Amino acid sequence: MGNIVAIVGRPNVGKSTFFNRLIQRREAIVDAVSGVTRDRHYGKSDWNGKEFSLIDTGGYVKGSDDIFEAEIDKQVELAIDEADAIIFMVDVESGVTGMDEDVATLLRKVEKPVFLVVNKVDNAKRAEDAVEFYSLGLGDYFTIASINGSGTGDLLDALVEALPEQEEVQENELPRFAVVGRPNAGKSSFINALIGEDRYIVTDIAGTTRDSIDTKYNRFGFEFNLVDTAGIRKKSKVKEDLEFYSVMRSVRAIEHADVCLLVFDATRGFDGQVQNIFWLAERNRKGIVILVNKWDLVEKDNKTTKDFEKYIRQQIEPFTDVPIVFISALTKQRIYKAIETAVEVYKNRTKRIKTSVLNDVLLPIIENYPPPAYKGKFVKIKYIMQLPTPQPQFAFFCNLPQYVKEPYKRFLENKLREHFDFHGVPVSVYMRKK
């Protein structure tokens, strides 16, 4: 479970370059996901063994200075409110600007770690010029050059040291199913339909996801925590950007979940915002169930459901082995089917395949369809095992792992799905030297 670090500042100071550099430090990289508005990004990184999520709040200039000032105020306040630490980036080339001072005024009131980072410092003269940023009243600063990574090590050392410790996961902790999606998709209605009159409710308990409520729930002989990310407290002083805010909540909820129930409004379609949240869950290797809500409002013929499902699967390629349930929170149509499906996905995610079974099933297939030869060299896969991780990950031991390309790894993943049912769960395939 990671913390959230927000990168704030005015445009053109190098935030996106710095963001991209950080997420690429991660060996098992979780790619950046394009955000709900222009140039906003979400990704994962780690440093010295400490994992955290990054949010680049860039790209919100829409026109005049007045509009910009309103937007930067809104974005920075939201980042301050939700993040565990804030990186405030400025540009040594342009020096202190009025917009920098506006952001600094907000950040001086914050009781969270704030790191003032002066970018584009790639020589001694610029290091001297950076002294003027003391005038922002945020104390010491870090000088970096995001284009080549200079200075980022010291910054990251200080950052991970300042991040709050995450709660230990208890071994007997119940599975967590998070209900995520964009605003007004029907998340609250779905949860209310489930728990409103249901006698299986046990109790409400505080969740590890900030400000969320975990409802302990028992159905189909299976007990779990249902995480409501829709009912998080309103921020009275924040001029809410609902799209941005919903994604920040989703980031935190997804990181703490085992299975994500992605709810979207059928009348609005499976749009870019919904897809971003889907890929956040996939890149965090969580189980996923897609819930098409308000299906009762859609005009249908005998092909509508099939065509809509086909369209969704085209948008989520290549990870198409995902359950899609058409529901109506208002009429309670198939809402229990949604939970039953989530339970099945959780069981798939925690499934363990015996090593002997893996090898008996897959080695003959590999022998018939071996990896393509590369530069006249033949790859021989000798042995397969499932790794001891919370989600399905498999190691294929061979003589030349570097020559096995992505298409063949996808072939192996498809064979694992075909024979062992990992419906709804991302599967990772690694090639290892034998």
For every residue of 256-302, DSSP letters joined together read H-SEEEEEEETTT-S-HHHHHHHHHHHHTT-EEEEEEE-GGGS---T
Closest CA to 186 of 296, 346, 319, 311: 296
**pLDDT surpassing 90 at residue 190:** no
What average pLDDT does this structure show over 225-247?
55
CATH code at 3-162: 3.40.50.300
Question: Binding residue per annotation — 60?
Answer: yes
Who's near 311: CB < 8 A, 6+ residues apart? 270
Tell me the percentage of the chain whose pLDDT exceeds 70: 79
Predicted confidence band of residue 246 (pLDDT cuts 50, 70, 90):
low
Question: Binding residue per annotation — 381?
Answer: no
**pLDDT surpassing 80 at residue 434:** no
What average pLDDT does this structure show over 33-59?
64
Rounded distance between C-alpha atoms, residue 143 and residue 152, angstroms: 8
Rounded distance between C-alpha atoms, residue 416 and residue 428, angstroms: 10
Strands 324-326 and 287-293 come out as parallel
Q: Kindly report the average pLDDT of the chain as a whole number.
A: 80
Sheet with strand 259-265: strands edge to edge:
204-206, 213-219, 222-228, 176-180, 259-265, 287-293, 324-326
Give the DSSP H/E element, type plus range, for residue 338: helix 335-349
Question: Binding residue per annotation — 365?
Answer: no
Question: Binding residue per annotation — 16?
Answer: yes
Q: How far is CA 358 from the centre of its chain?
A: 30
Rounded distance between C-alpha atoms, residue 54 and residue 4, angstroms: 6
pLDDT score, position 209: 39
Q: Are 120 and 126 in contact (CB under 8 A)?
A: yes
Predicted confidence band of residue 343 (pLDDT cuts 50, 70, 90):
very high
Give 365 or 71, the one with higher predicted confidence.
365
Which range (87-96, 169-178, 203-212, 266-275) has the least confidence?
A: 203-212
pLDDT score, position 302: 85
Query: What does the pLDDT look like over 376-409, one tens digit per residue?
Result: 889 899 999 999 988 999 999 999 888 888 999 9
pLDDT score, position 364: 94
Question: Binding residue per annotation — 181?
Answer: yes
Question: Binding residue per annotation — 228?
Answer: yes
Query: What does the pLDDT look like over 55-82, one tens digit per residue?
Result: 777 544 434 455 555 555 666 677 777 7
Question: Binding residue per annotation — 241?
Answer: no
Question: Binding residue per annotation — 150?
Answer: no
Rounded distance between C-alpha atoms, residue 31 and residue 28, angstroms: 9
Intrachain domains 176-350 and 355-433 with the same fold: no
What average pLDDT does this structure show over 196-219?
52
Predicted confidence band of residue 83 (pLDDT cuts 50, 70, 90):
confident
Which fold would CATH assign to domain 176-350? Rossmann fold (3.40.50)
Predicted confidence band of residue 222 (pLDDT cuts 50, 70, 90):
confident
Question: Binding residue per annotation — 207?
Answer: no
Question: Binding residue per annotation — 285?
Answer: no
Predicted confidence band of residue 356 (pLDDT cuts 50, 70, 90):
very high
pTM equals: 0.68
Question: Binding residue per annotation — 10?
Answer: yes
Rounded distance between C-alpha atoms, residue 190 and residue 300, angstroms: 22
In the chain, where are the structural domains located?
A: 3-162, 176-350, 355-433
Question: Binding residue per annotation — 225?
Answer: no
Burial of 397 (0-12, 13-18, 19+ CB in 10 A): middle
pLDDT score, position 233: 39
Question: Binding residue per annotation — 313?
Answer: no
Question: Binding residue per annotation — 347?
Answer: no
pLDDT score, position 223: 84
Question: Binding residue per annotation — 53?
Answer: no
What average pLDDT does this structure show over 413-424?
93
What average pLDDT does this structure show over 2-11?
79
Question: Binding residue per annotation — 204?
Answer: no
Q: Are 160 and 52 in contact (CB under 8 A)?
A: yes
pLDDT score, position 249: 66
Query: What does the pLDDT look like over 139-166, one tens digit per residue?
Result: 899 999 888 888 888 999 999 888 877 6
Question: Binding residue per annotation — 424?
Answer: no
What average pLDDT does this structure show over 269-275?
84
**pLDDT surpassing 90 at residue 48:** no
Most distant pair of Cα atoms in the chain: their distance: 71
**CATH 3.30.300.20 matches 355-433:** yes
Question: Binding residue per annotation — 121?
Answer: yes
Question: Binding residue per annotation — 32?
Answer: no
